[in-house]
Amino acid sequence: MIPLRHTLPLRTTPVVNRALVIANGLVFLTQLFLGSRTETLINLFGFVPVRFLHPAAYGYSIFEVTLTLVTSLFLHGGFVHLIGNMIYLWVFGGAVEDALGHTRYLAFFVICGVIGSLTHALLFPHSSVPSIGASGSIAGILGAFLVLRPRARIVTLLPLVVYWAMVEIRAVVFLPIWFAMQFFNGFLSIAAAHRTQEVAGIAWWAHVGGFLFGALVGLIARRGQRERVTPYAAEGEAS
């Protein structure tokens, strides 16, 4: 399923979300210009669970490995990886920024990515494979969107047998399906790791951790919105 847009009107311009999309694009262009040195860049600034948990053994300081929790969010493993992430960020990020506000949204984006990476490290503490990409952050955005705007319609491109169809799917249907896929693939990755002693190339559990944290933040934000509205409603009824 490829989301194209949602049908919600926005009260504010999603300047932070657009800046994040641009920043990811610029970093990817830098990777392209680096050519064969990109691998060194990814090893240096990607998030490596075993290195994060044992920094001294790899010649890193605690500050340096902690920094990779953020720098890894802006690195991508290829054009498809980048475009896939940026489509979801572009479609869903603006509405969440509209609900949280610009500054809180930026902090939310980073924290969701950090939570996602830590979830991945918790389940694969011995992994030496660099984890990169904004997927954990975007998963958090999807979780918040589901809670904050469950009735929103998502204009979606669906691949059928011989052609593509464009349909509108409620967020309350679209996003749980997306989450279920991440959860299922996460369990498969654990099973594969136990069998082959190798970690999957996609950090599925970063998606799961980010999504659940985002949904929690969405619940808190939604409750806060209700508490701000209720006194005014009560005052209106009294008058």
Locate 44 and state its tokens. Answer: 């240096």
Q: What is the CA radius of gyration of the chain?
A: 19
Element of type H or E holding 209: helix 204-238
The pLDDT tens digits for 136-172 are 999 999 999 999 999 999 999 887 766 778 888 999 9
Topology given in CATH for the domain delimited by 2-238: Rhomboid-like fold (1.20.1540)
The pLDDT tens digits for 91-109 are 999 999 999 999 999 999 9
Per-residue burial over 137-164, b if 16 or more Cβ lie within 10 Å, else e, is bbbbbbbbbbbbbeebbbebeeeeeeee
Check residue 130 and report its DSSP letter. P
Would you list the DSSP string of 161-183? SSSEEEEEEEHHHHHHHHHHHHH
State which amino acid sits at residue 169: I
Across 202-208, average pLDDT: 84
Say whether pLDDT at 191 is over 70: no
Write down the pLDDT at residue 136: 93
The pLDDT tens digits for 11-30 are 999 999 999 999 999 999 99
Model's pTM, two decimal places? 0.88
Q: How far apart are CA 46 and CA 65, in angstroms?
A: 9
The SS3 call for residue 160 is coil
The SS3 call for residue 147 is helix
